[in-house]
Amino acid sequence: MRITLDTNLLVSGMFWGGTPAKILELWLNDEIELCVNYDILIEYCRIIEKLGNKKKSSIGSEWAKII
């Protein structure tokens, strides 16, 4: 299955867990395929970095390594 995640869903799964985190697990386990274009990817990175800095988390730099 191919999906595009709304930025809010992505960051909710990364920083707060719950159902959005389960969706990210499916992606990490190659059970679903995440489909994005360049503009969406840039938005993901911008928001993840912003929230990572706010929460004093290294997740923003880790995310940058993935892409």
What's the pLDDT at 66? 60
Residue extents of the structural domains in the chain: 2-66
From CA 28, how far away is CA 22, in angstroms rounded? 10
What's the pLDDT at 15? 83
Tens-digit pLDDT profile for residues 11-65: 898 888 899 999 989 998 999 999 999 999 888 888 888 887 666 666 666 665 6
CB 45 within 8 A of CB 67: yes
33 forms bridges with which residues in the sheet? 2
